[in-house]
Structure 1
Amino acid sequence: MTLTTTPASAPATTTPPVTKAEAAALVRAARTRTGLGWAEIADRLGAPLVWTTAALLGQHPMTAEQARLAGELLGLDESVVTALQDQPYRGSDPALASDPTIYRFHEALSVYGPALKELIHEEFGDGIMSAINFKVDIARRPDPDGDRVVVTFDGKFLDYRW
């Protein structure tokens, strides 16, 4: 039996698709190559710093305009610009949990999570802090013992309704 194939009829300018993870790696490389900082990129996109960084690392879909502008700023090809617009599978690779910075966030929530839960329930009642209707920010605060990292989680309270 002989099988024959015919070439795809896609336009010559079509580039192969890339995954969100591959796009994130290309974004990191392009950011290093261009010397642009995350804050400058966010400013140029007119979007919050942490959201922009997370979106460029594959955790949020960007609008076509945001993706196009990011592509222009970073010199990304069309396949990456398209991937930046895709709906993500949110969360992180379990292997990332061993990264010291990410591990410390896990550690902080393991230690303080139960206390934060109790305090949220005491202050707001039975419910949760939304991670969908959510803002997050990071800041540096000078301290004589070494600069402090200030992370602010700002989530809408969602009460359980029965």
Structure 2
Amino acid sequence: MAISAITEQLLAAKKAKGVSFTDLETLLGRDEVWIAAVLYLQASASEEEAQKLVEALGLGSEFVEVLTQYPLKGSLEPTIPTDPLIYRFYEIMQVYGMPIKAVVHEKFGDGIMSAIDFTLDVEKEEDPKGDRVKVIMCGKFLPYKKW
């Protein structure tokens, strides 16, 4: 998976400052996953949000314009991802995608879950057998229109 040179600079500045996504969430009042999407150029920040991010990362004002541009969404290559964590999400969709689709259709009807009117939260759930990753996706249901 290729990461843009701009994202590399943003992440390097974040690391150099010792700032976490949770720290940035507190600063901006936006979810840490959304902030990560901004740094990976998959979401766009407002001018004010971009300015706060750039200042927190100790970067020049030229990054404000970059972070406020409308992104070209979708950064995965068209091949099967090889990063183990990202691959597991691919595997989950391969195994459970059709069952999830069937359950959504049964509960809501023929339609999709929006990825625009959408939130995604990542939580750590402590467990004596090994901590758990809890991913919560919440998207508006959009029924297919008949005409």
The question of a shared fold, defined as TM-score above 0.5 by the shorter chain, is answered with yes
Determine which structure has more spread, i.e. the larger CA radius of gyration. 1
Q: Partner residue of 2:23?
A: 40
| Number of equivalent positions | 143
How many angstroms does 1:48 deviate by?
1.1
The CA distance in 2 between the partners of 1:138 and 1:103, in whole Å, is: 17
Does the 8 A contact of 1:50 with 1:138 survive in 2? Answer: yes
Identity %: 40
Residue 157 of structure 1, aligned match among 124, 141, 144: 141
Q: Unaligned stretches of 5+ in structure 2?
A: none
Aligned pair 1:119/2:99, yes or no? no
Cα RMSD, aligned residues only = 1.5
Residue 6 of structure 2, aligned match among 16, 23, 30: 23
Residue 59 of structure 2, aligned match among 76, 81, 87: 76
Q: Partner residue of 1:141?
A: 125
Q: Unaligned stretches of 5+ in structure 1?
A: 1-19
- Post-superposition CA distance 1:60-105 (Å, at most 9, x none): 0110000001010001112222111111110113179211111111
The CA distance in 1 between the partners of 2:64 and 2:57, in whole Å, is: 10
Aligned pair 1:98/2:82, yes or no? yes
How many angstroms does 1:121 deviate by?
0.2
Q: Partner residue of 1:11?
A: none
Does the 8 A contact of 1:42 with 1:53 survive in 2? Answer: no
The CA distance in 2 between the partners of 1:33 and 1:55, in whole Å, is: 18
The CA distance in 1 between the partners of 2:27 and 2:19, in whole Å, is: 11
Q: Which amino acid aligns with 1:49?
A: E
- Distance verdict in 2 for CA 1:157–1:88, change over 3 Å: same
The CA distance in 2 between the partners of 1:51 and 1:152, in whole Å, is: 13
TM-score by length of 1: 0.84
How many angstroms does 1:53 deviate by?
1.1
Q: Which amino acid aligns with 1:113?
A: G
